Structure 1
Amino acid sequence: MGPSAAFFDLDKTVIAKSSALAFGRPFYRDGLISRRDVVKSAYAQLMFRLGGGTDEQAMARTRDYLAALCKGWRVEQVQQIVAETLNELINPYVYAEAAALIAEHQAAGRDVVLVSASGDEMVRPIGELLGITDVIATRMAIVDGRYSGQVEFYSAGPAKVVGINELAAARGYDLSQCFAYSDSSSDLPMLEAVGHPSVVNPDRALRRAALERSWPVLEFRHPIALGKRLRDRPAVPVAAAALGVGVGVAIGFALYGRHRRARAAVA
């Protein structure tokens, strides 16, 4: 049997919170986003997740808002914010069940890959805390130490499968022998791309799809602090953690605007 992998979504699958919003407060504190951005982002992130986030136009709007929002942010400032707050914001929220499952796949000789719409430079250090070195995540162009306003790869929905296929071709994975885990119906393409999909804390649409396809449904309920494992690691500079909160805020603008238009139409 050839090499295989287990692909894990991040938010609500491995960690019990949104990585896109985790850094919202310190980014607001340091002036990168406004209070209005935070409120819109939190509201619309909830609506996005309840709706499954499968609308391609909404994904495109999110990508475009992300690029505009982060344009001009200094990478050095973002690095400092994330280095100072990673322990507080991520450490206590890793699901014990996810950590055990990751270890089980690694013990079986499989590569473990985090697949997330959040920024590569944010997802990668979270992965390192879990002993994961491979990630597929959103990549934003950086020019002269600042975000240029261009998104090189937006790792959401069907685009996740593009990243998975590229990695599978490079590593020689037989995807029929691979595993995938997610909580969101927006990740149906990723789950359908492998031979062994499972859903974790699924939204309504994904739970329905899993029941129709006889996929395993897992419930992760016990976040656990990484504690000493996290404290013993050096701080990891995060060049694009802004992508994480940027995704949340971008979703906020896209869906908050759509919500207001819908209300106006009803009125």
Structure 2
Amino acid sequence: MNDAHQAMEKKPYLAVFDLDETLIAADSASLWNEFIVEKGLAPESLLVEEKELMEAYAKGNLDMHTYLRTTLKPIVGMDTQTLNQLMTEFLAQKIKPALYEDALSRIAWHKKRGDFILIISATGEHLVKPIAKLLGADDAIAINLEQINGIFTGKTTGTLSYQQGKVVRMKAWLEAQEIEFSGSYGYSDSINDLPMLDAVDRPFAVNPDPALALHAQMKDWTIMDWRHENNILR
């Protein structure tokens, strides 16, 4: 019985983090669009189009397929090697300065406990996975991008990890794991992630938008206030 009890105690918790506006004080796809426009790889009109689409996202009624068709255009025909080279520069210039210090501390807190860190985002995997690696996450779920012979087509595959799609993808991910978790934590800023937060045992609203803040207050969820001071991960 003692051995069984010890085995139960050793089961890690799963800590699920949204990425944009939760771990970083920005939207990673918006930062990427700024970056590739600055590099001359996309027209400035992309930023105008994206701003309009992000306004719909904030209201919780973004058509994700439309958003992806617009924002993935600049990488159509790009090979993975070129993208990886750009990513090194992008992480240094745009992502590191945008990280919440409190987010880094919370990830460190979970790691000290032996928890498993999973980042799940409604952004393309070409951005999410490198950022997740930078943050020391154990794994990441993002929108899957189609590649043919190492070339990005601009199309997506599988269920989009957006709104309820995050729960669908997370459940599929859990079923594929050999790890059994004791429970789960979840962190997000957006009402779009309400399905994900409802699916975890311990939800936290991080710098929540007004709709999520109201919901969190009604449900008596913990609300976390993470400040950004232009910190750079070292």
TM class by smaller structure: 0.7 to 0.9
Aligned residue in 2 for 1:16: 25
Counterpart of 1:107 (choices 82, 88, 112) is 112
Aligned residue in 2 for 1:183: 189
Distance in 1 (alpha carbons) for counterparts of 2:227 and 2:16: 20
Counterpart of 2:167 (choices 146, 161, 169) is 161
Aligned residue in 1 for 2:233: 226
**RMSD value, Cα:** 2.2
1:193 maps to 2:202: no
Label 1:165 to 1:128 Cα distance change in 2 as closer, same or farther (>3 A): same
Partner secondary structure for residue 104 of structure 1? helix
Counterpart of 1:87 (choices 92, 103, 106) is 92
Label 1:121 to 1:60 Cα distance change in 2 as closer, same or farther (>3 A): closer
* Structure 1, gaps ≥5 residues long: 228-267
State the one-letter code of the partner of 1:201: N
Distance in 2 (alpha carbons) for counterparts of 1:73 and 1:24: 15
Distance in 1 (alpha carbons) for counterparts of 2:66 and 2:89: 31
Moved more, 101-110 or 5-14: 101-110
Q: Is the 8 A contact 1:102 1:112 kept in 2?
A: yes
Distance in 2 (alpha carbons) for counterparts of 1:173 and 1:15: 29
Distance in 2 (alpha carbons) for counterparts of 1:97 and 1:30: 31
Partner secondary structure for residue 63 of structure 2? helix
Moved more, 163-172 or 217-226: 163-172
Distance in 2 (alpha carbons) for counterparts of 1:205 and 1:220: 18
Distance in 2 (alpha carbons) for counterparts of 1:11 and 1:21: 10
Label 1:95 to 1:86 Cα distance change in 2 as closer, same or farther (>3 A): same
Post-superposition offset of 1:18: 0.9
State TM-score, norm by structure 2: 0.85
Distance in 2 (alpha carbons) for counterparts of 1:210 and 1:183: 11
Higher helix share: 1
Q: Is the 8 A contact 1:23 1:82 kept in 2?
A: no
Moved more, 147-156 or 63-72: 63-72
State the one-letter code of the partner of 1:226: L
Post-superposition offset of 1:5: 0.4
State TM-score, norm by structure 1: 0.75
Counterpart of 1:129 (choices 120, 128, 134) is 134
Post-superposition offset of 1:179: 0.4
* Structure 2, gaps ≥5 residues long: 1-7
Distance in 2 (alpha carbons) for counterparts of 1:36 and 1:65: 11
The number of residues matched between the two structures is 222
Q: Is the 8 A contact 1:179 1:195 kept in 2?
A: yes
Distance in 1 (alpha carbons) for counterparts of 2:169 and 2:46: 30
Q: Is the 8 A contact 1:168 1:174 kept in 2?
A: no
Pick 1 or 2: higher relative contact order, CA cutoff 8 A, min separation 6.
Answer: 1
Q: Identical aligned pairs, as a percentage? A: 32
State the one-letter code of the partner of 2:194: L
Partner secondary structure for residue 23 of structure 1? helix
State the one-letter code of the partner of 2:209: D
Post-superposition offset of 1:164: 1.3
1:25 maps to 2:34: yes
Aligned residue in 2 for 1:116: 121
Post-superposition offset of 1:112: 0.6
